[in-house]
Structure 1
């Protein structure tokens, strides 16, 4: 609904500010909080130290963003970006009250309360964006929605985690936190280079309209992985950490986790690529028609990207963050390189860059990750093959049906194609590989209650 109200240029301006905010966010200290999950034992003093690190880091970042806002606006040639960045700096002040309680809840394997807080957070952000867009605030609807989300999440998680410690700024004896957190912070920096390089490069080359078309397409395509994979990683990291501490093998859990991710994301992305035209005209309207080939192209690269994202919790859980650093460094080199080449061909050039970068990053990650956790590539391929086969059947059926129903209204096409795709995909798996569906459902159901118990059961 917000997309229908706002203009592509609004999303282009917002993407420019987000690239700066995200670039500074790698210093927000989240990785220091993550170290609490991996540690065997923690004390109130250690929690207070991490709290102090988070507060110090984020106050400094907020100040830096406020000061550097005019520089960013000058780089993009858009004065409004400076005002947006100054206001968005307040988000960093909420980060300590999000990162620390989130880590404590993850350590205690308490995800139900996090899920409730995240739902309230999403409702607050969506309501803020919709109300402000409806009353004509334009790009400011996109600016204030994340601020509302951060405030609600900070309050909700702090209450849920029963965070009753005061911060301390005496960091003596916290060397292990700095070492582990420093490695993950470096990975965050490399991840930011990888994930924001397209916006940084295109921000000066594209007009706000074209940048808005590309970034909105990317945002919509990433909704699936952005909403599905973070909860998976939040569960996977502490579960694998417990397995590693107990000396149990990680390979079976890792393989089935990869299979679960593929089972969910692959058909959605391939289906989105096949129904991009009907999806855009039904949901966004005619003014966003330029998104159709971009969404279709990006969706084809996303299954590779999704599988790569869920690899890092395994190597971090066994205390080998250097693998995560190496894969992040590879992504930070490959993505900007291909974007620099693709930028000459406009938004579709960036799409073609994704086709090269995403599979390359997954291949490199698997080369380093699989030996570290004793997983054979042949075993992983065998578990993922049914998903590929079912997606092939689904794609053939949807293409055939699409040619037959093309005269119908777009909304009718979308409903029919989605239903047909779901039936073909689910039916193929049920007829040929019923064991796979039963095991996956059992894993998800058990994981909702106790992810560590589910991992041990596997």
Structure 2
């Protein structure tokens, strides 16, 4: 193989075992997330066909508060346990009891706040939905420490199996509720049951049992680190949910329901290709934080793989948005197509650079991540506030504009932290980006010839055209990245694996 085509990855024999565990972690976590999101999307699709935008807007409004409070319930303790070089039972117990106490207080507070919130939104149905969902906050805290233990051990296979089982069971129950006519409550039951089963499964498989070794002095040290992780997570939640809050408050539940359908596709894809990567990358990067050269190599390789796999998915969704919405959700949600197309531009960027936060936190710069996230969130909230009177398309556009404006700052900060350059990072992903652009042009030119066919057939044919053109372009423009992906696949072969 020519030198210029040789993949730049974790190639030394000493790294092979660690690399194999990281790759398997990504595959298991990615598989878990794909199954979970597919099942969740299935339940969502059923609800979207059974509910009108107003009803679904009520559920989306409730989720804004629950997701933000769930971040506070988790409080960043699990990331701290994963990032620390040494932990013991006293750390685990202190974290568990503090987290459980915090989540219980938040759950009770949400139950009480449900009354005024329902009055503020002038939606009486919001009250019981919020009160039932408050139980989810307790389950988040119960599973936090067991999941951190499994992540420290790179036990992604175990976490994947637990999460898959929980989501399969919860989705079956949720769909059953939908067919029985429970409407929006099928989604609420599915959410709470999934968290409960995930928490129970992680506790069982991790072997952790809460003890009495609570130590206030340990809590001070844990909180000193976890507050930055919590701040980053909270800012991320606010970034992703302020739009829902403002749309629901200003434009009403119908507009929020339409926006939520478009946003759902983005959520599924970002979760599969972005959040999955972050979950594996953080513990892997944490193990490499003392070796800057290996860390830089791992980061740049991860960015290339993110671009290779994620970029064409979002570009295809941008092209085929009308067919996807009609086939998956039904023609009654056609107004969500323009919003979905705009949001796909954000997803294409997010899936490539979703490692940035995980890398910065892994090297102990969570405070800087928090400060940058705070500035980004303030900018985003201001953009949402300006855009929301003009409609949901402008809200989506403000989301994308903010992401691209802040991207150079993130790239520069990360590059300095690991001893590389922004240009090197951009050069790494140039091949997949050009290949995705060729795919976009090819599919766009072929689209008019498919007029007159059913939406399902058009979607299938567009997928085939996009896949074939992207693969052909990769072989011409990004051969080295393709070989790198193949090298990761070879690591999984039994003859190459290191126990």
If the TM-score is normalised by the length of the shorter chain, which range does it land in? over 0.9
Q: 1:429 is matched with which residue?
A: 474
Q: CA deviation at 1:305?
A: 2.6
Aligned positions of 1:298-447 closer than 5 A: 298-443=343-488, 446=491
Alpha carbons 2:434, 2:477 under 8 Å: kept: no
Instruction: Give the distance between the partners of 1:205 and 1:231, measured in 2 at CA.
Output: 33
Alpha carbons 1:69, 1:86 under 8 Å: kept: yes
2:219 is aligned with 1:174:
yes
Alpha carbons 1:315, 1:373 under 8 Å: kept: no
Q: CA deviation at 1:409?
A: 0.9
Q: 1:270 is matched with which residue?
A: 315
Change (3 A) 1:173 1:331: same
Unaligned ranges ≥5, structure 1: 454-458
What SS does the aligned partner of 1:289 have?
helix
Change (3 A) 1:275 1:204: same
Change (3 A) 1:101 1:162: same
CA RMSD of superposed structures (Å) = 2.0
Q: 1:210 is matched with which residue?
A: 255
* C-alpha distance after superposition, 1:129-155 (max 9, x if no partner): 321121111111121111011111011
2:47 is aligned with 1:29:
no
2:68 is aligned with 1:13:
no
2:233 is aligned with 1:188:
yes
1:93 pairs with 138, 142, 148, which one?
138
Output the TM-score relative to the length of structure 2. 0.86
1:54 pairs with 88, 99, 113, which one?
99
Deviates more, 1:72-81 or 1:166-175: 166-175
1:284 pairs with 308, 313, 329, which one?
329
Instruction: Give the distance between the partners of 1:374 and 1:396, measured in 2 at CA.
Output: 36
Q: CA deviation at 1:64?
A: 1.0
Q: CA deviation at 1:398?
A: 0.5
Alpha carbons 1:314, 1:373 under 8 Å: kept: no
Q: CA deviation at 1:323?
A: 2.1
What SS does the aligned partner of 1:19 have?
helix
How many residues are treated as equivalent by the alignment?
452
Deviates more, 1:114-123 or 1:238-247: 238-247
Q: CA deviation at 1:439?
A: 0.7
* C-alpha distance after superposition, 1:371-420 (max 9, x if no partner): 11212111111111011110111011111111111111111100000011
Unaligned ranges ≥5, structure 2: 1-44
Instruction: Give the distance between the partners of 1:144 and 1:448, measured in 2 at CA.
Output: 41
Q: CA deviation at 1:275?
A: 0.6
Instruction: Give the distance between the partners of 2:298 and 2:361, measured in 1 at CA.
Output: 15
Deviates more, 1:162-171 or 1:201-210: 162-171
Instruction: Give the distance between the partners of 1:153 and 1:189, measured in 2 at CA.
Output: 22
Instruction: Give the distance between the partners of 1:167 and 1:209, measured in 2 at CA.
Output: 49
Q: CA deviation at 1:63?
A: 1.0
Change (3 A) 1:333 1:6: same
* C-alpha distance after superposition, 1:63-110 (max 9, x if no partner): 111111112212211111111111111111212232111110110111
Deviates more, 1:69-78 or 1:389-398: 69-78
What SS does the aligned partner of 1:174 have?
helix
Alpha carbons 1:52, 1:167 under 8 Å: kept: no
Q: CA deviation at 1:210?
A: 1.3
Q: 1:67 is matched with which residue?
A: 112
Q: 2:205 is matched with which residue?
A: 160
